[in-house]
Each structure stands twice: as C-alpha cells, then as structure tokens.
Amino acid sequence: MPNFVTHLECSLTGERYPAGVVHNLSAAGRPLCVRYDLAAVRAALPREALRDRPANLWRYRELLPVRDDANIVSLDETITPLLSAPRLAASFGVEQLLVKDESRLPTGSFKARGMALAVSMARELGLTRLAVPTAGNAGGALAAYAARAGLEATVFMPDDTPIINQKECFLAGAKTWLVNGLITDCGRLVGEGKAQKGWFDVSTLKEPYRLEGKKTMGLELAEQLGWELPDVILYPTGGGTGLIGMAKAFDELAALGWLRHDRRPRFISCQSTGCAPIATAFARGERFATKFEGAATVASGIRVPAAVGDFLILDAVRASGGLALATPEADIPRWMQLAASKEGIALCPETAVCLGALEVLLERGAIRRDERIVIFNTGAAQKYPEAVREQLPRLDLAQPIPWDRI
Ligand SMILES: *Cc1c(COP(=O)(O)O)cnc(C)c1O
C-alpha cells in the first residue's frame, strides 16, 4: 500500500518535521499534525473505490499514517452507526437529530480509534513501552491495543476514575496506578518518569497519531451522509482530539474534492459546569484556556482541566461559526435517562451534556429547529455505573407482594 504522508507540522508555528521518526510535541511545545500529499491521494483514490472496502476505519488507508500493513494493530474498529432519533428529536422540537454511536467500538468508546493508530505507529516506529495519563477510556483503550500488539502499557489514572476503567486496564495487563489527583497530575508523572523508564508518552495530542485515528470519525460521518456535512455537530470536549480530528477530516475531504458542498458544520464544544475550561475561554474571547480549578464531573472523559490542544479546539470552533458551552453538571443523569427512555440509546455522561447544550441553543435561536444536528455518543453508558444513583424499589419475598403498587 503506498503511503501519502509528506511530513509533520507544528500546529502553532507551522514548522516542519520529518515523517518516519519518533515525535512527541514540537519544539514550541505544541501538537504535531500529520500532513499528506492530498493531490496524490486524489489521483490515486476515487471516492467510489471506498464502496468495496471493509467496514472499518482502515478503509481510509490513504489518509492514515501507517506505512506497512503488517504494523496495523486492530480489534476491528467498525464503522459506527448513525442512528436516527425521532422521538428524542420530537422532545426537543427539532426535525432531525442523529446520534453517531461510538459506543460500538472496541473497549466501548471512541478512544479505540485513536489508540488503534497510536499503537500501530508505535509498532512501526519500534517503540515497546507505552505510558499514558487517562481520565478513563484512553487507558482502557491503550491497555487493550498494547495487549493486542504485545507491547507494554503503563497507565496513570485519578483514583476516582470509573471502576470499569480501572478493571479493564487491570484485565488487559497494563501496569495501572491510581493517583490521588487529576489527569493533569497523571500527565506530569508520565513526563517525569519517561526518561528513566524508557516510556513513549501516548498522552492526548502529545503524540501525532491518536489525532489521525479520531479524524476517521469525520471521514465516516461525511461518507455516511453521502458526502454532505450536517449543519451542527455537538461534541463533548475534554482533550479535544475528537473535535480537532473532525475539523482536520473536513479540511482533507475538501482538499480531495469529495464534499458535495463547501458548507461546514458549526462545532458546538460541550462541557459540564463541573469542568469547563474551553467554554470559559470561549466566553472570554481567549485563544488559550486557563486551567480549570476544582474540576469535578461524573463525565470523567471530559474532566480535563487543561488541554495542550486548547487553541486548536477554540480555533476550530470559531472558524466553524460555532461556540463552546457548559451545561449544568446536575442535569447529566436526567439527559442520560431521556435519551435511553425515548430511544433506547444509552448515552455516556459526556454526551449527555450535549443535550443540555442543545436545549439552551435552541432557546437562544443559535440552532434552528430545521437544521440537521449530529451528536456523538463517544462512549458506552454501561461503563459508568457511578453516574446513575437511583435505587430501584425492592420486593421482599417474605412479605405479601404489593400488587396495587406494581
Ligand atoms: C475522552 C472522552 C471524551 C473527550 O474526548 P476528546 O476528543 O479528548 O475531547 C468524551 N467522551 C468520552 C466517553 C471520552 O472517553
């Protein structure tokens, strides 16, 4: 398979770096982006050629960085369904609400997309010891893909990370540490230990390839909608790779001439009031976010008080004509219950905040009721037993059954 990567580029300064060697951040301390010869991709790959390809993210092989197929580490990252949600749409009074259900991916979250690429590239570049700070799902995904590749993984997570994330890392054999701090503290530990331990740092946006994996969300969405992008995308934002990756996908698709219109969706970056650095920076008109103090949310995947790609998220949101918004932490269980009870779609708590944002933005008129709206269900609700606190009523078989109350 020919490879179309030309170089890597600092996302802040544009400085160029060679492909095919190990990279973390740029000299300026910012994320690196993979660049492709898109004119050559355009000549080599007619859009129609995708039709006969397997229904997983490797169908976009020409837009991915792996050189040698033998290095691909995969658990079959399936194309995720784009579900219609008419009953949920009706409850918001909107015509078209679509849910891209990323919970179907290996390890139950879209982190699989990023880690499939990061671990494949680690194998290609000869790296054997990988380490990551995680809010939960990234650790689970790294643990699984490292196991699949026979590589060593070390995971640092806050000690109140959802229990399922803790156990999935343990089961997959990652060296897993609970830390009495936040993901930013875990990130510091990886940074401090890496020289001595020989780790490669797989933190969000501190290596270039998780972004390429998450980019495939945007490629898939475009293909599923017949190469016509929706009007609005609501996206739960933590480190921001998903949103930045989708923006990159749409740029690359436009350069390939694959999109039917040049119209881009407005990105709505959704956060919880429990951790809202991006929403705060957006409201203040700032390009770089200030660390959010006292971050606390059941939506653990978006409990990221400081993001190395903050300016990339804010740039992408503003360029799209969208906005960033935090909705009340206390409403998360209610939104989860609404989606599950209306549609049988079990939204993760991260995605639940998108419904809060949708309600507010419809009221404000920032989203019109006749627009095509897409939300990403970034993970499986089943990974968050902590987010639902309701106690179910009990029946005691030693007592008469209260049939009038059943
Ligand atoms: C990591 C994560 C997020 C945040 O994703 P980013 O792309 O890093 O902003 C959202 N939801 C879930 C379930 C996650 O695991």
- pLDDT tens digits for range 338-379: 999 999 999 999 999 999 999 999 999 999 999 999 999 999
pLDDT in tens, 229-253: 999 999 999 999 999 999 999 999 9
Q: Does residue 73's CB lie within 6 angstroms of at least one atom of ligand 1? A: no
Q: Quick one: pLDDT band at residue 262, thresholds 50, 70, 90?
A: confident
CA-nearest residue for atom 12, ligand 1, is: 301
Matching residue, tokens 């989860």? 336
Q: Which one of 137, 212, 336 would you pick to mutate in the ligand 1 pocket, going by the greatest count of ligand atoms within 8 A of its CB? A: 137
Nearest CA to ligand 1 atom 6: 240
pLDDT tens sequence across 106-152:
999 999 999 999 999 999 999 999 999 999 999 999 999 999 999 99
Torsion, Cα 205 209 211 212, to 10 degrees, reads 170
pLDDT in tens, 170-213: 999 999 999 999 999 999 999 999 999 999 999 999 999 999 99
Q: How confident is the model at residue 1 (pLDDT cuts 50, 70, 90)?
A: confident
Distance from C-alpha of 374 to C-alpha of 224, rounded to nearest angstrom = 12
Reading the block at residue 42, the tokens are 């355009």
Question: In the block, which residue shows the tokens 């679509």?
Answer: 98
Once rounded to an integer, what is the mean pLDDT over residues 386-395?
92
pLDDT tens readout for residues 264-317: 999 999 999 999 999 999 999 999 999 999 999 999 999 999 999 999 999 999
Q: What value does the mean pLDDT of the chain take?
A: 97
From ligand 1's centre to the CA of 136, what distance in Å? 9
Cβ 308 under 6 angstroms from ligand 1: no
What is residue 75's predicted lDDT score, i.e. its pLDDT? 98
Task: Tell me how far apart the alpha carbons of residues 195 and 197 are, in angstroms, rounded to a whole number.
Answer: 6
pTM for the full predicted model: 0.96
Alpha-carbon distance of 299 to 388, in angstroms, equals: 11
Name every residue whose Cβ is closer than 8 Å to that of residue 390 and which is 6 or more positions away in sequence. 333
Distance CA 362, CA 203 (A): 35
Name which residue sits closest to atom 5 of ligand 1, judged by CA: 238
134 within ligand 1 shell (Cβ under 6 A): no
Q: What is the mean pLDDT of residues 156-178?
A: 97
Architecture of domain 82-106+211-387: 3-Layer(aba) Sandwich (3.40)
Tokens 């949103």: give the residue: 243
d(CA 130, CA 152): 6
- Count of helix runs (H) and strand runs (E) in the chain: 12, 13
Pocket mutation for ligand 1, best pick of 99, 107, 109 (most atoms within 8 Å of C-beta): 109
85, burial (CB in 10 Å: exposed 0-12, middle 13-18, buried 19+): buried
**Percentage, residues of the chain above pLDDT 90:** 98
In the chain, the percentage of residues whose pLDDT exceeds 70 is: 100
Contact (CB, 8 A) for 200 and 122 = yes
Gap between the terminal Cα atoms of the chain: 62
Query: pLDDT (tens digit, 9 = 90+) per residue, 97-117?
Result: 999 999 999 999 999 999 999
Residue 216: CB within 6 Å of ligand 1? Answer: no
Amino acid 2: pLDDT: 82
Contact at 8 Å (CB) between 112 and 137? Answer: no
